[in-house]
Amino acid sequence: MKKILFIEDESALQKTFGEILKQEGYEMTSALNGEVGLRLAKTQKPDLILLDLILPRVHGFEVLKKLKEDKETKDIPVIVLTNLEGIGDIDKALELGATTYLVKAQYSLEEVVEKIKKALGE
């Protein structure tokens, strides 16, 4: 069973995604802030990370940078899932090594699930 780590401070989203990803046959772990997210990424070695950018404690960009610097986590694909779409945000995330950048407001739930499947090579 493939593991997905969801770093997101909105517990409502954690709940919705937890449920739908379980039904799709994935195991999802949640992290409500960047710090926990980084720790879980190292200990659990997920197959995919879903990352929000506006996070308490450690900002999403910082999380992404650290994930890509650490040789244990650098190969895990990261999908940025956020409502931030200011100047340079998308470029910065892709430069830092994000696989995909999704603006929450522009996608339906099923579309996001499709992107997750695609990133996992399914």
Partner 1 sequence: MSFKNILSQLNIFAQCKKYGLPLWQCPQFLFLVMGIVIAITAITFYAIATRYIADPRLVALMVLIITAILFIIANIINRSFERLAEASRMKSEFISVVSHQLRSPLSNLRWAIEFLMSGRTDPITEKQLEYFKILKENSVRMGELVSDLLIVSRLETAKLPFKKQEFAFEDLINNLIKEFKPLARASNVEIKFEPEKNLPKVFSDPSQLRLVIENLLDNAIRYIKERGQVEIKLEKRDKNFYFEIKDNGVGIPREDQKYIFQKFFRSENILRYQTQGSGLGLYISKAIVERSGGKISFRSQEGVGSTFWFTIPIK
Residues of this chain that interact with partner 1 (CB under 8 A) are 10, 12-13, 16, 19-20, 23, 83-84, 86-87, 104-106, 108-110, 112
CB of 104 to partner 1, least distance (A): 4
Residue 57: is it exposed, middle or buried by C-beta count within 10 angstroms (0-12/13-18/19+)?
middle
Secondary structure (3-state) at 7: strand
Contact 46, 14 (CB under 8 A): no
- Alpha-carbon distance of 88 to 91, in angstroms, equals 5
Closest separation in Å from C-beta 17 to partner 1: 8
Which residue type, as a one-letter code, is found at position 6?
F
Q: How far is the CB of 19 from partner 1 (least distance, A)?
A: 7
Burial of 87 (0-12, 13-18, 19+ CB in 10 A): exposed
Q: How far is the CB of 78 from partner 1 (least distance, A)?
A: 19
Looking at the Cβ atoms of 53 and 76, the one nearer to partner 1 is: 53
Identity of the residue, 71 or 110, whose beta carbon is nearer to partner 1 in the bound complex: 110
- In the complex with partner 1, the residue whose CB is nearer, 23 or 121, is 23
Pick 71 or 108: Cβ nearer partner 1: 108
